[in-house]
Structure 1
């Protein structure tokens, strides 16, 4: 696959580590667990959206944009990183925040809400859960145009055929690292949320004829809606590369969302604490904590054999962890 045909900004120096986790592997007694440390990507606090923004912001700059507009939940890592990319490029950034949990927005909250202010967000619009976020962003874009600006709208999570290219590139990066380490990968496990990370990895590993399955752990939706979402994004991304992506390569696992998006589960708390206490790596409660709880569940169900190599993709989010500290108080 020729990714060099697409414009790209670079916000990270070199590759993120691909590490073996010996103490965690021993503790769980299952397969060999490796971790792709995309929590160490560039921009403010890192995380998976940095890879997507390398392609999205390059596209925005090619179109002469001077303003980025995006959306997310009230503690959105994607919004934090979009704002960070705007700062890096000298652009303005407006955010539309969705109260997926009623009454959850607090302008003075810690975590990402604090970072929005610290980095000088141009404006924040808060909308109720279930709102038409594209419509809300279009209204902001109209205001920007009326003021003489040239806005560029980035969908939630940066998950479209442009942004998803970031995780096609990540799949190729993992393959190169595995080759250097003489590592045979049996499975890759990632968060399945807005879809770009899951879809991009699936396209990347499938498009390179690896046969490596990519398992997405749902953190917000059941399979009935999540699988079609991932397939739609993967298909559109593959088409940009001249490929026809097969629907059967999309694998989603449900059962770890709990009472709802961003709401705690005992399995998530166990997963976050286990990772911190065995490997000193921080997960977040909304995304990676629930994703890792899903991987633990699959291991305990016997889905993987001893000696197999499973790569867990750490998509970041730890700056939001401090906002959710009450979830971990005994």
Structure 2
């Protein structure tokens, strides 16, 4: 059922009026096209999705789009100068287009659930610098599915590109950098533990976009020792020649303590001030890329997973993922709430979700609501969002970036069964949680389950204090075999 605006008018009335204005003042498309026609197309395609007159209006709008472009191109120099009157008509058309789009958003907030393709239309409004390779692959883990009696799939954000070692932060970086470019930023400063996946991916994205990345990294020297060589993500940062600053943080690899957090923030702000004094424009991005413009990134991850599952005849029952800084779940959860899809999220945490902690359920709720507001939609209630969040804290192990026996076993299980490699800091612990849920009966036989591989593979090459038993430093080296020719 199509909703009405507060004045009783239907969205189609404004679509028609705007189209008529454009038909009469074709040359004005140069003034209004980006805002008006885009708004009209969005409104007529989405807000009036179920109406009987949808097809005729869509055709009229598309024909008009083509006519306006053709007429403007041929008449601009001789027949249709951009007069003040035409500008006024253009502005009026743009105004109507925006109002029509607002009507669409009102209808969608109070009406039926969105379709998956509508998510992409919403997403297309956001500034974005395309860097990764999307959609990322989605495939069935045939051997583990057969072994455990479920249909187990994997979404490969680790293959997002542009390099071979990537992850889920690349989507976030596309939006953050897209907005940064729009704002004239030329330098991105971000932070993390010295082995940060996010930092490496943001540095990669910044370089591809023509920006300068700077990293501020902390290292728990009590556990991981002093920095003596470059491994894992740190080696990749070095290969990219990224400006990197190190701060020792004994006993606090993830900068959980307020004094450590303040030290890092002070150091970043000092470097920012130096650069700004040189005329640079700098953006500071928090740990994990947890910056508001990036929160909607994984709306499209959800869309891709559901579509890719349907392409092989499957409706997903569960989506499992590892959660750390809380940048993947809000976008996926917002997409679920917008579409009404029945899939359940199960988040395996690598950091404690506690009320007084730097990441918790309340923060996830606020990020979901921020995504709705970004799309000019009325956010759901806190309770509606909280009811969709299920976080399992049992697989953290001793601490962040500290290996666990469960994680090591899970990494080996997947590598041996499917030839897919997880990381010891994030995805290994997440997959360990999934395997335990299977063993404990938390997943019913025949369930359709997707695991979101968010990356972390570079950390397989880290120090033993991170990798643990996987490294095999004490295992005997195979002796060479003499080959006879």
| Cα distance, 1:98 vs structure 2 | 2.1
Is 1:244 paired with 2:379? yes
Structure 1 residue corresponding to 2:459, chosen from 317, 320, 323: 320
Q: 2:245 aligns to what SS in structure 1?
A: strand
Is 1:205 paired with 2:355? no
**Which residue matches 1:217?**
348
**Which residue matches 1:122?**
243
**Which residue matches 1:42?**
161
**Which residue matches 2:482?**
none
**Which residue matches 1:232?**
366
Q: 1:202·1:213 contact (CA, 8 Å) conserved in 2? A: no
Is 1:138 paired with 2:272? no
Q: 1:189·1:311 contact (CA, 8 Å) conserved in 2? A: yes
Stretch of structure 1 that moved more, 125-134 or 252-261:
125-134
Q: 2:218 aligns to what SS in structure 1?
A: strand
Q: Distance in 2 between matches of 1:291 and 1:308?
A: 18
**Which residue matches 1:263?**
402
> TM-score w.r.t. structure 2 length?
0.65
| Cα distance, 1:127 vs structure 2 | 4.7
Structure 2 residue corresponding to 1:113, chosen from 221, 231, 234: 234
How many aligned residue pairs are there? 329
Q: Distance in 1 between matches of 2:125 and 2:390?
A: 29
Query: Which has the larger helix fraction?
Result: 2
| Cα distance, 1:326 vs structure 2 | 4.6
Q: 2:462 aligns to what SS in structure 1?
A: helix
- Mapping 1:282-297, distance limit 5 Å: 282-297=421-436
Partner deviation per Cα, 1:114-136 (whole Å, 9 max, x = no partner): 11111011232425233224444
Stretch of structure 1 that moved more, 77-86 or 159-168:
159-168
Structure with greater Cα Rg: 2
Q: Distance in 2 between matches of 1:315 and 1:162?
A: 19
Q: 2:219·2:246 contact (CA, 8 Å) conserved in 1? A: no
Q: 2:411·2:423 contact (CA, 8 Å) conserved in 1? A: yes
Q: 1:67·1:152 contact (CA, 8 Å) conserved in 2? A: yes
**Which residue matches 1:176?**
307
**Which residue matches 1:90?**
210
**Which residue matches 1:53?**
173
**Which residue matches 2:105?**
none
Q: 1:65·1:152 contact (CA, 8 Å) conserved in 2? A: yes
Q: 2:296·2:330 contact (CA, 8 Å) conserved in 1? A: no
| Cα distance, 1:154 vs structure 2 | 1.4
Seen in structure 2, the aligned counterparts of structure 1 residues 189 and 196 have a Cα distance that, compared at 3 Å, is same
Q: 1:137·1:153 contact (CA, 8 Å) conserved in 2? A: yes
Q: 1:268·1:292 contact (CA, 8 Å) conserved in 2? A: yes
Partner deviation per Cα, 1:168-221 (whole Å, 9 max, x = no partner): 111111122223222110010111100011222111222211021111111121
Q: Distance in 1 between matches of 2:177 and 2:271?
A: 18
Residue segments in structure 2 that go unaligned for 5+ positions in a row: 1-118, 476-485
Q: Distance in 2 between matches of 1:206 and 1:271?
A: 31
Q: Distance in 2 between matches of 1:270 and 1:150?
A: 46
Q: Distance in 1 between matches of 2:125 and 2:209?
A: 22
Q: 1:227·1:251 contact (CA, 8 Å) conserved in 2? A: no
Seen in structure 2, the aligned counterparts of structure 1 residues 253 and 243 have a Cα distance that, compared at 3 Å, is farther
4+ residue segments displaced more than 4 Å? none
